[in-house]
Copies of this chain bind each other. A is one copy, B any other.
Amino acid sequence: MDPRLSIINERLKNIERIIAVGSGKGGVGKSIISTTLALLLSKNNKLTGLFDLDFQGPTCHLILGAKDEFPTEEKGIKPPQINSVYFMSIYYFTRDNPLPLRGWEVTNLFRELLAITRWDNIEYLIIDMPPGVGDEVLELLKLINKKEILIVTTPSILSLNTVDKLVKLLKNLNIPIIGILENMRVQPSDIVKKYALENKINYLGYIPFDYSIEKYIGEINLFMKTKFVLNLEKILHEKILF
């Protein structure tokens, strides 16, 4: 019997909202959006946690500007606060080494991290999902009780085709979808809005491609002033949060 299964929701039970940022598709901005969401919540005085569930390609630590932080042991492990966000990532343990894993190992890693991480009294937990619908996603769907999904896509039929797979999966399981966020728009297009309408999903708005963003990755103060962040803040403010 796996002793971790019974404890996972115990660890999360005092959290008000658990928001998983997903897409199914890679490279659409899940990590930058989930990290920014956590930073914005925290700026708005919410105690916020961020969990990077992309074990094989974690990037939230780069966006957050993590350095050599490491969790402390206290009846479990406590996520260090980085730019006031309580942050947990496999990065602490692997640093920049590749972590090739078979599915069952991904499942094990998921369970272990969630069983031992003490989020204390955070109000929001943001989860940065990996691409695909594999073990991480299936474990999230299976083991985390209350959760809402924020879908991210680019306005491309290649993205939407893959996003649609995650959406179908979530709808079949009646898992709440907060809405769909269009990212990296480079020209007028209504395919995402149309898709949202047709599938009865809340269309949250779009974020234009921001050419300046690359140079502010990891520089939180400047990053928080980019158009990307301002656009995201406006959408989140109007549509879902704070």
Residues of A within 8 A of B (CB): 24-28, 31-32, 56-57, 59, 62-63, 96-107, 130-135, 137-138, 154-159, 161-162, 164-166, 168-169, 186-187, 189, 209, 211, 214, 217-218
Contact = CB atoms under 8 A, between A and B. Distances in A.
Contact of A104 (B31, B100, B102): B102
Contacts of A59: 158, 161-162
A103 B100 contact: no
A102 B138 CA distance: 8
A97 to B, nearest CB: 7
How would you classify the secondary structure of chain A's contact residues: helix, strand, loop or mixed? loop
Contacts of A26: 25-28, 57, 131
B56 A24 contact: yes
Number of copies: 2
Contact of A156 (B130, B154, B214): B214
A56 B135 CA distance: 12
Contacts of A62: 157-158, 161
B28 A133 contact: no
A27 B24 contact: no
A235 B221 CA distance: 39
A161 B89 CA distance: 15
Given A165-B96, A211-B187, A132 B130 contact: yes
Contacts of A154: 27
Given A27-B26, A28-B27, A158-B32, A57 B103 contact: no
A92 B209 CA distance: 34
A130 to B, nearest CB: 7
A162 B52 CA distance: 14
Given A57-B132, A62-B158, A132-B130, A164 B100 contact: no
